[in-house]
Structure 1
Amino acid sequence: MVSKEVILTHGGLLKLEKELEQLKSVKRKEVASRIKIAIDFGDISENSEYEDAKNEQAFIEGRIITLEKMLRNAILIDEGEINTDNVSVGSTVTLKDLEFDEDVDYTIVGTAEANPGENKISNESPVGKAILGKPVGSIVEVSVPAGNIKYQILSIKK
């Protein structure tokens, strides 16, 4: 099976590396200590502390595997090469919602960095797909669960 490429900005790469280091150096030790303490209580068959710690350990190990795989398959966006003629991954785009006459800024990132709360949307999201490759002035229609939204691309920045 071919692993999927993970598109990252430099900031996104640093964030994933920091999370991986935290999980390996701090969280693993904390959970191992919790498991040891729970075992010291005796019978682990009905020990909820032990079960909770084992579940957290499984989650942490799974996340470590996921992060390592993402970092192995990372494609780093060279922010110096971001083209401002057309929307691309790494672009910050100002869109005008033509129905509500409101402007919104989005930074287009890979799925691993997407965070709608920070206005970072994935290149694979409905809006991301609709605007990728489009120049300033383009009007795009995006199909979302609530219906269709029309946006005009007002600006493209690095």
Structure 2
Amino acid sequence: MASVEKLPMLQEGYEKLTAELKLLRDERPRIVDAIEEARAHGDLSENAEYHAAKERQGQVEATIADLEDKISRAHIIDPTTLSGDRIVFGATVTLLDDDDKPVRYQIVGQAEADAKRGRISYSSPLGRALIGRKVDEEVEVTVPSGDKCYLVQKIEFI
């Protein structure tokens, strides 16, 4: 039997997914009510409310299935329990860019990624390039604006 691929995430990401799942599960009865109400209006072939409610129901069910899958495969990682000299999921890294300006990122799961807050997904181009690197190693990554080069200055587990 094939093994199930775990999804690394922080506790915050796990809580975000479970909260979203709860909201969608709470929405289910309202969608069913909307479908029933639209159905009561008669001819379904030209009933926009019915078709919109059925479409929303499909979207919600697909999202619920996706969230349930992610939650079932969640592998919650606490960065404060990590250590080592290499960049791993959960590490906070300080990099020097081409202009010797320091930038700081935490390597997180897709649910927590928010570049504006300094959190990048381990599966992003930069995240993938950083995993396994050590202090003083250079990292080159191709981003939409072109190639960028970084020097790993510091690795922290906070």
TM-score by length of 2: 0.86
State the match for 2:65 in structure 1.
65
State the match for 1:22 in structure 2.
23
Q: Read off the aligned partner of 2:102 and give its amino acid letter.
A: D
**Structure 1: stretches of 5+ with no match in the other structure:** none
Give aligned pairs, total.
156
Q: Is 1:84–1:91's contact at 8 Å kept on the other side of the alignment?
A: no
Q: Read off the aligned partner of 1:32 and give its amino acid letter.
A: V
Runs of 4+ in 1 over 4 A off after TM superposition: none
| Superposed displacement of residue 36, structure 1 | 1.9
Q: Is 2:87–2:133's contact at 8 Å kept on the other side of the alignment?
A: yes
**What is the alpha-carbon distance in structure 2 between the residues aligned to residue 27 and residue 57 of structure 1?**
9
Q: Equivalent residues in 2 for 1:113-132 (5 A)? A: 113-132=112-131
**What is the alpha-carbon distance in structure 2 between the residues aligned to residue 114 and residue 20 of structure 1?**
18
Indicate the larger mover: 28-37 or 5-14. Answer: 28-37
> SS state of the match for residue 107, structure 1?
strand
| Superposed displacement of residue 2, structure 1 | 4.7
Q: Is 1:9–1:90's contact at 8 Å kept on the other side of the alignment?
A: yes
State the match for 1:133 in structure 2.
132
Fraction of identical pairs, as percent: 37
**Structure 2: stretches of 5+ with no match in the other structure:** none
| Superposed displacement of residue 123, structure 1 | 1.2
| Superposed displacement of residue 60, structure 1 | 0.6
**What is the alpha-carbon distance in structure 2 between the residues aligned to residue 22 and residue 63 of structure 1?**
11
> SS state of the match for residue 45, structure 2?
coil
State the match for 1:32 in structure 2.
32
> SS state of the match for residue 152, structure 2?
strand
State the match for 2:49 in structure 1.
49
Q: What is the aligned-residue RMSD (CA, Å)?
A: 1.9
Q: Equivalent residues in 2 for 1:85-100 (5 A)? A: 85-98=85-98, 100=99
